[in-house]
Amino acid sequence: MYLHRGSGIQYKSVEMVNLGFNIGDLSFKNPVLTASGTFGYGAEYDDFFDVSALGGIILKGTTLEHREGNRYPRMAETPSGMLNSVGLQNRGIDYFENEIYPKVADYDTNVIVNVNGNTVEDYVALTDRINRLDKIPAIELNISCPNVKSGGMIFGTNIDSARTVIREVRSVCSKKMIVKLSPNVTDVVTFARIAEEEGADAISLINTLLGMAIDVNRMRPALSTVTGGLSGPAIRPVAVRMVWQVAKAVSLPIIGLGGISSTNDAIEFFLAGASAVQIGTYSFVDPSISISIVEGIENYLMSKGFSDIKDIVGYINK
C-alpha cells in the first residue's frame, strides 16, 4: 500500500493480452522472472509485492555443500552498474531442502533453482537432489558464475567442458533445464548451440561480465577477489546484442537478462528475440520493479495493438 510506482501491488491482468510463455509443457503466467542472486529466496521481497504474481523466481545460486562465499568487500558501484564477488554464498542443498524449500513451495509461481558446482559430479549430484523436489519445475544450470575459483565460468567458457556438464546434467535432470550462459566468451553463439545440441530446454543469458575496479585512495582493488561480475544498466547493450545473436542461431526459448531497469529495457530483449526476461540488479534499487514491468509490458502491447507477447518476440528480425 506504500508503493509509489503504478499499481504494482494490486496488479491484476486485464486479460486483454496474453503474457504467457512456455518452456516445453511448462507454462509461465507472464514472461518476467527474477534473476538468481538478486532476489534471495523470494521472502526478502514479500513486504513489497506479491511475489507469486511474477512469471517465476530463480533462487540464489545453490551448491551441494555450505559455502561461506568470498571475503568482504564483495561489492563496488561503478558507472550505472555494480561489481560483485559474492562467490555463491549459500548453506547447501541439505539446508535448502529442509528450511527453504518448504517456504518457497508455497509460492504460486514457477520456483527455479540455480545449480552450481565445482565439478561435473557436483552438478549431477545436486541436480539429482533437486529432481526429488516436486514443487521445483526447472533448474537453471549456472555455468557462468565468474566469482568462484573452480566450476562456474570455467565450465561456461570452455567448449568441451560446457558440453560435458550440460550433457551429464541433462542425463539425470527430470526437470526443465535452462542453461545460463556466460558473456565472457568470444562467440556466445557457439555455447548456445552446444546447449541446444545437448538437450537444454531453454537458454538464459547473460550472466555478469568479468570486471574490476580499483580504489585509488586505498590504492587497492575494490573487491577482495580483485575481479568480479559487472551487472546493472551498464551491461544492457551487451546483453541485448548477445540475445539477438543467439535468437537467430537457436530455436530454444531464450530468457534475456542484463541491466533491465524499466519496461522499455525489457521490451528491447523481446524485440531482440527473448521469450522472457529476468530482472536482476535493479530489484536492489526498486524492490517491486519486476512486477511493475509485468504491468508495463501489458500496457506496451496494448498501446502497440498486439494481443500476445509472442507477437513481438524477435520482432526486429521479422
Partner 1 sequence: MKRQELLKVLENKRINDDVFMIVLGSKNQLPPMLPGQFVQVKVESGMVFLRRPFSVHDVDYAENNFSLLIQVVGEGTKAISRVVKGSMVDVIYPLGNSFSMPVDAQKPLLIGGGVGVAPIFFMAKVLTNKGFKPDILLGFRNIKSVIKYEQFIEVGKVFVTTEDGSLGVKGYVTDHPVFNSGIYDISYCCGPEPMMRAVAGICGEKGIKCEVSLENLMGCGIGACLCCVVDTVRGNVCTCTEGPVFNINQLKW
| Active site positions, annotated | 145
**Alpha-carbon distance values, 220 to 70, 147, 149, 300 (Å):** 17, 18, 20, 46
Our CB check for partner 1 shows the closer of 24 and 237 to be 237
CB of 217 to partner 1, least distance (A): 11
What is the biggest distance separating any 2 CA atoms in the chain, rounded to whole angstroms? 57
Our CB check for partner 1 shows the closer of 20 and 92 to be 92
Return d(Cα 282, Cα 231) in angstroms, integer.
Answer: 9
CB of 125 to partner 1, least distance (A): 23
Our CB check for partner 1 shows the closer of 71 and 304 to be 71
Contact 104, 135 (CB under 8 A): yes
Question: Does the N-terminal peptide bond of residue 287 adopt cis geometry, omega within 30 degrees of 0?
Answer: no
Cell of 8: 504494482
Torsion angles phi and psi, residue 214, rounded to 5:
-125, 130
Return d(Cα 117, Cα 149) in angstroms, integer.
Answer: 11
- Helix, coil or strand: residue 137: coil
The residues near 265 (Cβ < 8 Å, ≥ 6 apart) are: 233, 236, 259
Q: What residue ranges bind partner 1 (CB under 8 A)?
A: 2-4, 37-40, 44-45, 47-48, 60, 68-69, 71-77, 79-80, 82, 84, 86, 89, 232-233, 261, 281-288
CB of 139 to partner 1, least distance (A): 20
CB of 79 to partner 1, least distance (A): 4
Our CB check for partner 1 shows the closer of 48 and 270 to be 48
Our CB check for partner 1 shows the closer of 157 and 281 to be 281
83, amino acid identity: L
- Helix, coil or strand: residue 218: coil
Cell of 3: 508503493
CB of 53 to partner 1, least distance (A): 16
